[in-house]
Homo-oligomer: A and B are copies of this chain.
Amino acid sequence: MTVDVGVYGATGYTGLELVRLLEAHPNAHVRFVTSESAAGSSLRASHPLAPDLMLVSAQDAPLDNVDAVFLCLPHTQSARIAAAALECGARVVDLSADLRIDDPAIYEQWYKVPHPTPDLLPMPYGLPELNRLRLLGAECIANPGCYATALLLVTVPLARADLFVTGAPLIIDAKSGVTGAGRSAKQNLLFGEVQNNFSPYNIGRAHRHLAEVEQELARAGYDGMPPIFVPHLLPTDRGILAAIYAQVTDLDAAQDAIRQAYACEPLVCALPPGELATLAHVVRSPRAVLSMTPSDGNVLIIMSALDNLLKGAASQAVQNFNLMMSYPETAGLLPA
């Protein structure tokens, strides 16, 4: 069985990946792709390996003809399309931040703009490995941020098992490839600026993904210090590697908690002791890969790696779509 789907914002990096995945998905047929700036041209003009699909503007998209839509749009724009799609009876996977935060006041605090559609909140948070039951058959899912996915895969199992040392800082040093910043022309993302450079940005308590990380950590029972989050821009096109420094009450129990959380998961892999996660483990793969190294002072060093465009965005969106539609969760992502 195949359903018709639409992709809004198809010419960005995430949109292109998503279309590529959906074109190969056994149960999806891409019915339309949208772009405001490139409407009227083929998606192939946006990338030479993309399929030859004609782009339309969002308002011309035949929303009535699809069963589900994927929204790769800027925040605030996304929520409005989500509302319209749900009204038409289409299911929605929203890859923007709009539907991730349950409380519109917290959304406004981080995104500096009133929430465009507070009536839609809360929506289920689409991190299947941690939240699968809320996603099965859902009408609408908020797809997590790329950094947030990398961090929550590590911290939620520790919080659920109550293994964090109370009062100790939770330090996260993360590095992302450039596509995480989108495809809009900005001087600081030019090749001449990024090549041969490496730079921190929005460090400490400033990055917006903290909003969803803290919400989901609280839901998991975490009541410790707010995480210290230090993202950096890597001179690579894709991939996130985050080093999480967690002081835990029991190093063995902490490793077990993480290992058991993903023991049966096809798309999250905890490496054997002694191996370290790297970008090479995850780039162009729908899997997240974790490694754990116990150190002095009950500090567990956890490396969390994923492809920001896949497990951090497009392939996780496909997981969520599969759960919505009751397809096998890895359909279109792993060989059957």
**A residues apposed to B, CB below 8 Å:** 13, 24, 47-49, 167, 169, 171, 173, 175, 178-179, 183-187, 189-201, 203-205, 225-226, 228, 230, 232, 234-239, 241, 243, 245, 247, 276-281, 283-285, 289, 293-297, 299, 301, 303, 335
A243 and B24 form a contact (CB under 8 A): no
A199 contacts which of B169, B279, B294, B335 (Cβ < 8 Å)? B279
Pairs A-B, 5 closest by C-beta atoms: A199-B278, A173-B173, A191-B194, A185-B185, A48-B281
If A200-B278, A276-B201, A278-B197 touch, does A187 touch B184 (CB 8 Å cutoff)? yes
Residue of A192, A205, A239, A301 with most partner-chain B CB within 10 A: A192
Contacts of A281 in B (CB 8 A): 48-49
**Residue of B with least CB distance to A234:** B198
B47 and A293 form a contact (CB under 8 A): no
In the assembly, what is the distance between CA of A178 and CA of B187, in Å? Answer: 13
Could you say how many copies of this chain the assembly holds? Answer: 4
Contacts of A243 in B (CB 8 A): 173, 200, 230
In the assembly, what is the distance between CA of A75 and CA of B297, in Å? Answer: 31
A190 contacts which of B185, B196, B203, B303 (Cβ < 8 Å)? B185
In the assembly, what is the distance between CA of A204 and CA of B232, in Å? Answer: 21
In the assembly, what is the distance between CA of A247 and CA of B247, in Å? Answer: 13
**Residue of B with least CB distance to A186:** B185
A245 and B280 form a contact (CB under 8 A): no
Contacts of A245 in B (CB 8 A): 169, 171, 173, 228, 245
Contacts of A191 in B (CB 8 A): 178, 189-191, 193-195, 235, 237
- Contacts A/B (CB < 8 Å), 24 sampled: A13-B192, A48-B280, A48-B281, A167-B297, A173-B245, A179-B192, A189-B192, A191-B193, A191-B195, A195-B195, A195-B235, A195-B236, A197-B236, A197-B279, A197-B283, A198-B236, A198-B279, A199-B241, A200-B243, A201-B276, A203-B301, A204-B294, A228-B245, A235-B236
